[in-house]
Chain A
Amino acid sequence: MKIYSHLIQTRLRFKSKWIIPFCFILFLIQNVDAQITETLIEEIEVADGATIVSNIPSAIDIMVNGTMKCNNTKNRYSINGKNNDIRLNILKELIIETWDKNTIKQETIISIKTESDDTSKKLMKQLKINLKNGPDNRIVIDNNVNISSFHMKNSFFKSDDCKIQLDNGEMHTIEYISIETRLSIPKSCNLAIKGNKECIIRIGELEGNIDLELKYAEVYGRSVKNLRASFRSCYAVHFSKVNIADISSSNSNMVIQKAGLVKIGNQPLNDACNLPHVTSKRSHSAQSKYIFGSVENLSVSDSTNDDFNINQVLNLKVKKTSYTDFKIDLLTQSLNAEAKSSDLIIANISNQFSEINIKNSLSTIDLSFNEDANYLLQVDQNNYVEGNHLLSNPKKVENGKNIFQVGESGKGGNIFLKCDRCKFNIQ
């Protein structure tokens, strides 16, 4: 009995004296030693005209049992009820740089923290990148490094918090993981990226074709030769230069600083970008905001309730469009528009313009010319219109049209306006 009580006393003394340093050491062991970081690098040679097909790092399925709480730090998750406990951190940026070499290089930086250093190392060995040439000169890039899913459970037991499932079905408990992928591809390559989850994609200068099917993504591209894209709820899409763009979008915001040919709504939205809850047919472009710097040829079709803000456009063609408004700082050559309830505000029309042909209804049409502009304006008489003094004083009436000649006859462009219940402001 004496021995026993002595033991108790010893334990109590140990507790009171060493408990804080002991916990501190435990804290250090828990928080510093078990995290390891490794960079996986692979580089392969590709043939000319190769197409690179990539998924996005956030494509890994996240299976949540319970509710995850969003905190204020971007790209971080925490389990509800365990505030400040960051279990998973995926850097969802996919950086695609281009170079003059004919190789593709994939660099993936992975950081893992598990219960021990050994477990982390064993798990790290199983995470691989696998870069290889596929059929039809296609290279498929998997940014998910053998991980098929994350599992999170809001459980009492810490080990249930976060697990990753590998492609081979193995489950591993993790406390932290981060994956950052950087691709370097030849400038001449074609690139295809699909994703229906949050992702930030940065694309360097590319001479090949880019095919994007994205939902909830942000895209920042530099100079791109050919862009075909389908966007849903992508609130930040930015390209500095595009030679040819063919874009369908819904609830997205897009900026293109300089473009050759831009087609909007030319093709239906891709299936991945459609809403599963809505079966009705919808426009190829809807509720999107387009901000363009300088565009040579802009073609808009099947657009509803979009908003275009264009700095300069050479030729603008609009058809099958309703409730879509256009604000143009400078129209240089031609405008052909068949629309409904779509306002057209053009701050400046170049003296070199050749044709403006507008069929519209219930709209405001503002056309501003230079003072020395020459043009022949023909306005359909049969429809009720309101306008400024210019329209109240036609030179002549011919074939049911009020005809106005501004400036010298036989010089400048022609304007045809047929607008039902519209407000004109032509000056």
Chain B
Amino acid sequence: MNDFEKYILENKRQLEPKKVDPKVWLAVENEILKGKNKRFQYLIKALILGIILSFVAYFFYSNIHQNQPLDEERILAQYDLTQYNFTQQVNIKKQQLAKASVPQDKIEDFQILLQQLEFMDGQFQDYLQYIEENGYQEFIGDQILNFYKSKIELLDKIQKEVEKINYYENLQPSNSDKVEIQI
């Protein structure tokens, strides 16, 4: 390094500008403030987003709750009908009937009565459709109460008819094979 180079190096500070344009600092300061504001804005945005997400979650949850497919148990609970144990009564009666059998040559006479059960299931579907289209309405609760009473009466009637057929079968055997009732 020669003297010229040394001279330059030693007087390096002299080569600096006398001042830097103040706008540079103003710009830096402005950006710093913006950054602080941004952080605040992020906080606000996060807060708003949190609130929105909470609402979305709430609605999602309530929609899931509301849009659950209508089923028998839910409907009965809606109308305070669970106390009557209708589904249990129906199931017990159906299980008893499933074990029952009648002579094969008598089963055909029976079909029209068994068909009534199919119509009753169709009736229940009609209630579900009504609720889906028109919402829960109190009279449907009354309808369902009557529906189950009729259904239980029908199952009792089928049971009674089975017993009647078998009673006469024992008195006067038809020699026909016994078949189970398809219920």
Direct contact of A and B (CB under 8 A): yes
Known contacts: A80-B66, A275-B126, A384-B168. The answer to whether A323 contacts B134 by CB under 8 A is: no
State the CA gap A66–B134 with chains docked (Å). 10
The answer to whether B59 touches A156, judged by C-beta atoms less than 8 angstroms apart, is yes
The answer to whether B112 touches A67, judged by C-beta atoms less than 8 angstroms apart, is no
Interface residues on A, range: 35 or more
Interface residues of A in 310-357 (CB under 8 A from B): 322-323, 340-341
Q: Which residues of B contact A235 (CB under 8 A)?
A: 142-143, 146
State the CA gap A277–B79 with chains docked (Å). 23
Query: Is A362 engaged at the interface, CB distance under 8 Å to the other chain?
Result: yes
The answer to whether B138 touches A287, judged by C-beta atoms less than 8 angstroms apart, is no
Q: Sort A-B residue pairs by CB-CB distance and give the 8 closest, nearest first.
A: A68-B135, A278-B122, A70-B136, A421-B168, A275-B122, A277-B125, A277-B122, A67-B66
Question: What does DSSP make chain A's interface, helix, strand, loop or mixed?
Answer: loop
B 99-121 binary contact with A (CB < 8 Å = 1; else 0): 00000000001001101101111
Interface residues of A in 370-410 (CB under 8 A from B): 384
Candidates A71, A276, A280, A305; contact of B118 at CB < 8 Å: A280
Known contacts: A251-B123, A275-B123, A362-B165. The answer to whether A62 contacts B116 by CB under 8 A is: no
Interface residues of B in 122-181 (CB under 8 A from A): 122-123, 125-126, 129-130, 133-143, 146-147, 150, 154, 157, 161, 164-165, 168, 171-172
Q: Which residue of A lies closest to B79 (CB)?
A: A70
Query: A residues within 8 Å of B by Cβ?
Result: 62, 64, 66-75, 77, 80-81, 152, 154, 156, 197-198, 216, 233, 235, 250-251, 275-278, 280, 282-283, 286-287, 304-305, 322-323, 340-341, 361-362, 384, 421
A198 → B minimal CB distance (Å): 4
- B79, B136, B147: most-surrounded residue (chain A CB, <10 A): B136
The answer to whether B126 touches A64, judged by C-beta atoms less than 8 angstroms apart, is no
Candidates B55, B119, B137; contact of A278 at CB < 8 Å: B119
State the CA gap A81–B171 with chains docked (Å). 62
The answer to whether B138 touches A72, judged by C-beta atoms less than 8 angstroms apart, is yes
B 44-87 binary contact with A (CB < 8 Å = 1; else 0): 00000000000100010011001100000000001100000000
Task: Tell me the count of chain B residues lying within 8 A, CB to CB, of chain A.
Answer: 45
State the CA gap A392–B112 with chains docked (Å). 34
B183 → A minimal CB distance (Å): 15
The answer to whether A305 touches B134, judged by C-beta atoms less than 8 angstroms apart, is no
The answer to whether A341 touches B123, judged by C-beta atoms less than 8 angstroms apart, is no
Add 15 more A-B contacts to A64-B133, A286-B116, A384-B171 (CB < 8 A): A66-B66, A67-B67, A68-B135, A69-B136, A198-B137, A198-B139, A233-B126, A235-B146, A276-B126, A276-B129, A286-B119, A304-B113, A305-B113, A305-B157, A323-B157
State the CA gap A341–B130 with chains docked (Å). 35
The answer to whether A64 touches B147, judged by C-beta atoms less than 8 angstroms apart, is no
Known contacts: A62-B134, A66-B66. The answer to whether A280 contacts B115 by CB under 8 A is: yes
Candidates B66, B116, B125, B164; contact of A275 at CB < 8 Å: B125
The answer to whether A64 touches B134, judged by C-beta atoms less than 8 angstroms apart, is yes
Q: Which residue of A lies closest to B143 (CB)?
A: A233
State the CA gap A64–B121 with chains docked (Å). 25
Candidates A81, A278, A282; contact of B62 at CB < 8 Å: A81
Q: Which residues of B contact A282 (CB under 8 A)?
A: 115, 119
The answer to whether A216 touches B139, judged by C-beta atoms less than 8 angstroms apart, is yes
Q: Which residues of B contact A305 (CB under 8 A)?
A: 113, 116, 154, 157
Q: Which residues of A contact B130 (CB under 8 A)?
A: 216
The answer to whether B136 touches A67, judged by C-beta atoms less than 8 angstroms apart, is yes
Task: Please name 21 pairs of A and B residues whose Cβ atoms are closer than 8 Å in the assembled complex, sorted by A.
Answer: A64-B135, A70-B140, A77-B135, A198-B137, A216-B139, A216-B143, A233-B147, A276-B126, A282-B119, A287-B116, A287-B154, A304-B113, A304-B116, A305-B113, A305-B154, A322-B113, A323-B113, A323-B161, A341-B113, A362-B165, A421-B164
State the CA gap A275–B115 with chains docked (Å). 14
State the CA gap A62–B134 with chains docked (Å). 5
The answer to whether B150 touches A251, judged by C-beta atoms less than 8 angstroms apart, is yes
The answer to whether B59 touches A62, judged by C-beta atoms less than 8 angstroms apart, is no
A325 → B minimal CB distance (Å): 9
